[in-house]
């Protein structure tokens, strides 16, 4: 199993088929919130839809074309009635298909509301971007965020990305077009 420790109590793990129920449960619980910004939410109606996503992401990973990973938060078992730490699924971070001829990729992420405001996505992005620009030797990472999604747009700004422009009505999401900010980071500018 692929696992990266981002900080104590926060891990990134490539999805496995057994995660489908857990991932779907969070998507379903957060559906009204997520659908405001993410066009795939309305097409994720069952656990089988999530399983299909996981299978596709495993194939993508096996073909060295990117990945999707779960963001998992662990904490000591406060209740003391079960052995080991408590583990909670917090969200997803992953790439679109890598454009190998141009050595670039787009990065995406989402997080359940109860996990927000603690630097989880910023630190997860930092770890993944370091991997993409370092280990995979890509030259460019992009993050596209709806202009109205201020929380999501804050992540690339915090990481030193350059706002390179806006795609007017760049994405159809739940029946309305969203303008997208395009943020870019080049390998030569990444400080990690």
Query: From CA 189, how far away is CA 176, in angstroms rounded?
Result: 35
- Identify which of 160, 97, 89 has the alpha carbon closest to the alpha carbon of residue 132: 97
Instruction: Select 3-138's CATH number: 3.40.630.30, 3.40.50.300, 3.40.640.10, 3.40.50.10490.
Output: 3.40.630.30
- Whether the Cβ atoms of residue 151 and residue 113 lie closer than 8 Å to each other: no
Query: From CA 25, how far away is CA 45, in angstroms rounded?
Result: 11
Per-residue pLDDT of the chain (192 residues; tens, 9 = 90+): 478 899 999 999 999 999 999 999 999 999 999 999 999 999 999 999 999 999 999 999 999 999 999 999 987 655 555 555 688 999 999 999 999 999 999 999 999 999 999 999 999 999 999 999 999 999 999 999 999 999 999 999 999 999 999 999 999 998 999 999 999 999 999 987
DSSP 162: E
Q: Please, which residues bridge with residue 163 across strands? A: 183
Q: What was the pLDDT predicted at 90?
A: 97
Q: Please return the burial class of 191, using the count of CB atoms within 10 Å of its CB with bins 0-12, 13-18 and 19+.
A: exposed
Q: Which residues are within 8 A (CB) of 110 and not within 5 positions of it... i.e. 6 or more apart?
A: 34, 38, 91, 92
Query: From CA 4, how far away is CA 69, in angstroms rounded?
Result: 10
Q: What was the pLDDT predicted at 86?
A: 83
Q: Where are the domains of the chain?
A: 3-138
Q: What was the pLDDT predicted at 83?
A: 56
- Identify which of 145, 81, 73 has the alpha carbon closest to the alpha carbon of residue 109: 145
Q: What was the pLDDT predicted at 192?
A: 73
């Amino acid at each position: 199993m692929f696992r990266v420790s981002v900080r104590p109590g926060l891990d990134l793990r490539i999805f496995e088929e057994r995660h489908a129920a857990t991932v779907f449960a969070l998507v379903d619980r957060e559906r009204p919130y997520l659908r405001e910004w993410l066009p795939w939410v309305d097409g994720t109606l069952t656990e089988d839809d999530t399983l299909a996503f996981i299978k596709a992401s495993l194939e993508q990973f096996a073909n060295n074309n990117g990945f999707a990973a779960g963001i998992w938060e662990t904490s000591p078992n406060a209740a003391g009635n079960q052995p080991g730490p408590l583990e909670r699924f917090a969200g997803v971070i992953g790439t679109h298909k890598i454009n190998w001829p141009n050595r670039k990729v787009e990065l995406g992420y989402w997080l359940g509301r109860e996990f927000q405001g603690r630097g989880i996505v910023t630190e997860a992005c930092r770890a993944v971007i370091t991997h993409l620009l370092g280990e995979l030797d890509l030259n460019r990472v992009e993050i596209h965020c709806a202009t109205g999604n201020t929380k999501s747009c804050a992540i690339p700004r915090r990481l030193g990305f350059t706002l390179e422009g806006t795609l007017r009505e760049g994405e159809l999401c739940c029946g309305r077009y969203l303008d997208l900010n395009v943020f870019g980071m080049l390998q030569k500018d990444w400080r990690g």
